[in-house]
Chain A
Amino acid sequence: AQTVTQSQPEMSVQEAETVTLSCTYDTSESDYYLFWYKQPPSRQMILVIRQEAYKQQNATENRFSVNFQKAAKSFSLKISDSQLGDAAMYFCAYRSPTQGGSEKLVFGKGTKLTVNP
């Protein structure tokens, strides 16, 4: 079974600075998807960024980018120019493209990000 590990329970960053959240995963599959979800205090799960394992290029969405290292099974999230609204729990998630209609997400335990003004 796949597992996702987020080794940083909490991180903090100064407003306008850059922060990197770590994620590692364990899988024997070669094709899969990785995601970062943001959960603000409202507790809604919001998709931040997606990476397909077959793509070598790292995904980027505005101030959010990933460093995907397939051989190391590492998938970190970089937030540039941090804003107060970035404060949230961040969950790394794995999805395998299995046939048959499930393709559930497997989540890490999350990293709580605090942004200091």
Chain B
Amino acid sequence: EPEVTQTPSHQVTQMGQEVILRCVPISNHLYFYWYRQILGQKVEFLVSFYNNEISEKSEIFDDQFSVERPDGSNFTLKIRSTKLEDSAMYFCASRGREAFFGQGTRLTVV
């Protein structure tokens, strides 16, 4: 069964450092998403990506965040200068008929 794969599963980084979270979506899907879940809270939408460009972004997705699909398979989320409040679980999702989620990357900013 096809699945969305995210790497790494857990990343610890120092405040102010750049991090790149990676995702391999399901191959025939065209819509890609990043969501965030701060521990104990609900899942929040960050950004959607279609046809090689951002189709929608939330107010959380400020200038510190960027996404790209550099090679037609990987879909990455970059946080340029991490803050303590960026600590969260980050989920990638790709959508055909329904959205399927990766297993998440737990980002810890210290």
Interface residues of A (CB under 8 A from B): 35, 37, 42-47, 50, 91, 95, 100-110
Say yes or no: B42 contacts A105, CB within 8 Å: no
Interface contacts (Cβ under 8 Å), in number, total 59
| Contact A104/B98 with A43-B104, A44-B104, A91-B42 known, Cβ cut-off 8 Å | no
* Binding site secondary structure of chain B: strand
Instruction: State which of A35, A100, A110 has its C-beta within 8 Å of the C-beta of B98.
Output: A35
User: Which residues does chain A contribute within 8 Å of B95, judged by CB atoms?
Assistant: 103
Would you give the shortest CB distance from B21 to chain A, in whole angstroms?
Answer: 15
Whether, in the assembled complex, B43 has its beta carbon less than 8 Å from a beta carbon of chain A, the answer is yes
Q: How many residues of B contact A (CB 8 A)?
A: 27
Q: Besides the contacts A91-B43, A102-B55, A105-B33, what 12 more A-B pairs have beta carbons closer than 8 Å?
A: A45-B91, A45-B101, A47-B100, A50-B98, A91-B42, A101-B55, A102-B31, A103-B48, A104-B48, A106-B45, A107-B44, A110-B42
User: Which residues does chain B contribute within 8 Å of A108, judged by CB atoms?
Assistant: 42
Interface residues of B (CB under 8 A from A): 30-31, 33, 35, 37, 41-45, 48, 50-51, 55-56, 89, 91, 93, 95, 98-104, 106
Say yes or no: B104 contacts A101, CB within 8 Å: no
Would you give the shortest CB distance from A100 to chain B, in whole angstroms?
Answer: 6
